Amino acid sequence: MLTPHELATLMLIKDAINPVDLDPADFNALVECQLARREQLSPGCHRALITIEGHVFLKSIQRQRMGGFLR
């Protein structure tokens, strides 16, 4: 299970063009869960990306929230 900060970090990675100021501990937890990854653009320059698993995870949360509203 993700902490609220890790979930917020995942949503930032998904929605931001170039997310900055990500908490390293939260980002590393997402990488360990295979929900995010680090892409090397050039030596010393990286960017955070959401993985397919991360997209599926966020989509499942969205479906659960919508299901609660429809009942």
Q: Pick from 31, 32, 36, 29: which is nearest to 12 by CA?
A: 36
Structural domain count of the chain = 1
Whole domain around residue 16: which residue ranges?
4-67
Share of the chain above pLDDT 70, in %: 94
- Cross-strand partners of 20: none
How many CB atoms sit inside 10 A of residue 10's CB?
Answer: 26
Average pLDDT, the chain: 90
User: Whole-prediction pTM value?
Assistant: 0.83
Q: Pick from 9, 21, 14: which is nearest to 49 by CA?
A: 14
The token pair that represents 6 in the structure block: 């890790």
Sequence-ordered list of residues with C-beta below 8 angstroms from that of 6, at least 6 positions apart, any chain: 26, 29, 30
pLDDT tens-digit readout, 42-69: 998 889 999 999 999 999 998 888 776 5
